[in-house]
Amino acid sequence: SLKVGQDPVQTTCPYCGVGCGVLAYPDTDKPVAGDVAHPANKGRLCVKGTSLHETTGQDGRLLFPMVRGRRSDWAEALDEVAGTIWDSVKTHGPQSVAFYLSGQLLTEDYYVANKLAKGFIRTPNVDTNSRLCMSSAVAAHKRAFGADVVPGCYEDLELADLLVLAGSNAAWAHPVLYQCMKAAAREGRRVVVIDPRRTATSELADLHLALCPGTDTVLFNGLLTWLADKGGLDETYIQAHCQGFEEALKSARAAAPSVASVARQCDLPAEDVETFYRWFTDTPRTVTGFSQGINQSVAGTDKGNAIINCHLATGRVGKPGAGPFSLTGQPNAMGGREVGGLANTLAAHMDYDSPGARSRVAGFWGTGAVAAGPGLKAVDMFEAVYRGDIKVIWIMGTNPAVSLPDSDRVRQALARCPTVIVSDCVAHTDTTAHADILLPAAGWGEKDGTVTNSERCISRQRCFLPLPAEVKPDWWIMSSVAKKLGFAEAFDYAQPADIFREHAALSAHENNGERAFNLSGLAGLSDSGYDTLVPVQWPVLKSTGPDTSDSKRLFADGGFVTDNHRARFVAINTVLPAQKASEDYPMVVNTGRIRDQWHTMTRTANTPRLLTHRSEPFVEMHPDDMTAAGLAEGHLAKLSLNGGHFVGRVRKSPEQRRGEVFIPIHWNRRFASDGVATLLTESVTDPVSGQPEAKHGRAAITPF
Ligand code: SF4
């Protein structure tokens, strides 16, 4: 589908869950532009988006298959992959094979990976780096609504008269959404930012609640108590559409009985807590946006539900300018959720324990059965590799040797693993260094498919560059391996449209009703319809099709996806961070993104422009902590934990809480061997979602 010399190609940005529409030019010297026709960004782009054309070159690309350190070709590489998987299944059973996927994959790639693994190889051990990003929000949605559904849309962030941002530095992590939030400023509109640290987003705040890290459930339990005591409940909505309110309120009262108690536990001024509670009570149009500061926690799911409880209690769900809103990190984290990319899901939003799901999926795929699951979630998966239970791991488009907590142990696990297969567009990463078989995968601009952004909007990502050298799309690579394994008929795809139609058809079953994931209106899409598909929010029902579908908001009048169609309040107890500061490790470490980099910098570091904002790893700390540690602005500080360390340039930050430092997550060992943040976070996870407590670590600090 190369369109040299033609009009710009409408595609989407691959760098975050906002999912901005991009106009790209086959002539790569011409900068990309924002697509005014795309509903997510209406022409806006952040600096990562406007730099996209600078990252499409072939420097550092993986261009040929590599087998055990030498250049190979597809015939041999596919034989090696298929043969290794086959041998492992025969000798050690299907569960000895694992797939670790990425929110960078397109939905069609994800679908093929899931089908191959769970349907045909019969291993449930498929998980994705989205586990690190939003799995707590997924679990919270399921507990409350019965399905993983974001009830609102981006427009609500602008319509809200009170915008609450919890654990979200949107100014840096979701810059275009932040621009929209900023542009929506008007008399009477207020913004509350809940974050231990004063960030760029705090500049928008009428009230910044710099709470003690990990105390978000206390704050929102206190809000539920306040709403009940001050006549702030929507009793009619609760009675008509919800269940479990009394139990949730009882837990809230026990955990957060008064403003004074909340203020003490959260280390906040009582008057600020009360101001927040009054504003929330008095503002029908309230949206609470939440992101990794909520999700990346041992209580991430509870935090999400504590927020959702307050919205259910006030009937503020799925209404214009009112609702809880999970801001997803990755461009296609939601697309991956849709096809079953998480270890606890099966396909098309069905869990392993959804009624009839296994037989339905097995029947649809014609396999007779599917893998017995759920499978291992990301942290447990790499621990199983370390133990030797997993013999073959296939990693696609992600860099777990840097991004997972306790990443040195992940590297050791990969070094021990008999066969590591890596598909990537980048030749040299901390993870490809451990690969026995390297498969060159198509990158942005070279592949065709769909992605789904944070507001359930499915958009086409379109190809506008030729595939270089022996590079292939991920769906082609996996389908070719499937054919080698003897599953040719089930993987006889000629193009991504074939895969998308199959995925959409699988979603069209009776359990996926009108308010849940349902793409029945797209199952009959023609090739040209797929080519020209305009952004559309799911569900897309057969009765409407994509052209007249209106799925902006869900659940305003109830109709949840639970058995009795009532939303569930969840009783929340206080669980504080597992990684506590101690005598040996007295500093609390807060981690996060910076404005101009993406994940482990394997692509964004190739653009000098994106290194001008922050060019090296750094440590932001309070001036009093700097003095106590014998450090000054510009010094190098060494943070240490259990033999691992992180070295960064000290940046004075008077608004950092005392005893806490902030470090960026991005640097990998190739760009800064001492700058890997995940050496300071341990492998502790939320017991419900399996998401690591990656936001929070601890360390000793000394001059370097
Ligand atoms: Fe890309 Fe996100 Fe920036 Fe939009 S906000 S241009 S999707 S990185």
Q: How much is the pLDDT for 149?
A: 94
| Contact partners, residue 455, CB within 8 Å, separation at least 6 | 40, 150, 152, 153, 154, 537
> Could you identify the atom of ligand 1 that is nearest to the CA of residue 177?
5
Classified by CATH at the fold level, domain 9-55 comes out as Phosphorylase Kinase; domain 1 (3.30.200)
**Between 3.40.190.10, 3.40.50.720, 3.40.50.740, 3.30.830.10, what CATH number should domain 66-132+332-498 receive?**
3.40.50.740
Q: Measured in angstroms, how far is the CA atom of residue 543 from the centroid of ligand 1?
A: 33
What residue segments make up the domains of the chain, in order of their start? Answer: 9-55, 66-132+332-498, 135-327, 587-703
Choice from 11, 12, 18, 666 to test ligand 1 binding pocket (greatest atom count within 8 A of CB): 18
DSSP characters over 581-642: --SSS-EEEEEE--TT--TT-TTGGG-GGGGSS--S-EEEE-HHHHHHHT--TT-EEEEEET
d(CA 551, CA 56) in angstroms, rounded, equals: 34
Distances (CA, A) of 203 to 155, 191, 472, 492, 609: 21, 10, 44, 53, 24
Scan for tokens 């190369």, then name that residue. 2
Tokens for 638, please give them. Answer: 């060494």
The values of phi and psi at residue 70, to 5°, are -125, 155
Probe target for ligand 1 pocket from 22, 23, 32, 41, with the most ligand atoms within 8 Å of CB: 41
Which residues have C-beta atoms less than 6 Å from ligand 1? 13, 15-16, 18-20, 41, 45-46, 48-49, 174-176
Distance 174 CA to ligand 1 centre (A): 7
Interval between CA 153 and ligand 1 midpoint (Å): 17
Enumerate residue ranges in the chain where pLDDT < 50: 1-4
Q: What are the pLDDT digits (tens) for 677-703?
A: 999 999 999 999 999 999 999 999 999
8 Å CB contact between 212 and 267: yes
Please state, rounded to an integer, the average pLDDT across all residues of the chain.
94
Q: What tokens were used for 129? A: 């780096």
Q: What length does the chain have?
A: 704
For residues 285 and 274, give the distance between their C-alpha atoms in angstroms, rounded to a whole number.
Answer: 19
Q: Which residues of 2-33 are buried (b: 16+ CB within 10 A; e: fewer)?
A: eeeeeebbbbbbbbbbbbbbbbbbbebeeebb
Determine whether domain 135-327 maps to CATH 3.40.228.10: yes
Give the pTM: 0.96
Q: Which of 11, 12, 16, 666 to mutate for ligand 1's pocket (most ligand atoms within 8 Å of CB)?
A: 16
- Which residues partner with 437 through β-bridges? 67, 421
Contacts of 69 (CB under 8 A, 6+ apart): none
Taking the CA of residue 50 as reference, the ligand 1 atom at the shortest distance is 6
- Provide the pLDDT for residue 275: 98
Pocket test for ligand 1, best of 23, 38, 47, 48 (most atoms within 8 A of CB): 48
Measure 19 CA to ligand 1 centroid, in angstroms: 6
**Distance of alpha carbon 551 from alpha carbon 457, whole angstroms:** 9
| Ligand 1 centroid – CA 355 distance (Å) | 38
pLDDT of residue 609: 84
Please tell me the predicted confidence (pLDDT) of residue 3: 42
CATH topology of domain 587-703: Barwin-like endoglucanases (2.40.40)
Q: Give the C-alpha separation, 207 to 281, whole Å.
A: 15
Atom index in ligand 1 nearest the CA of residue 47 equals: 3
41 CA: nearest ligand 1 atom: 4
Q: What pLDDT is recorded for position 4?
A: 44
Question: Each residue of 240-267: b (16+ CB within 10 Å) or e?
Answer: ebbbbbeebbebbbebbeebebbbebbe
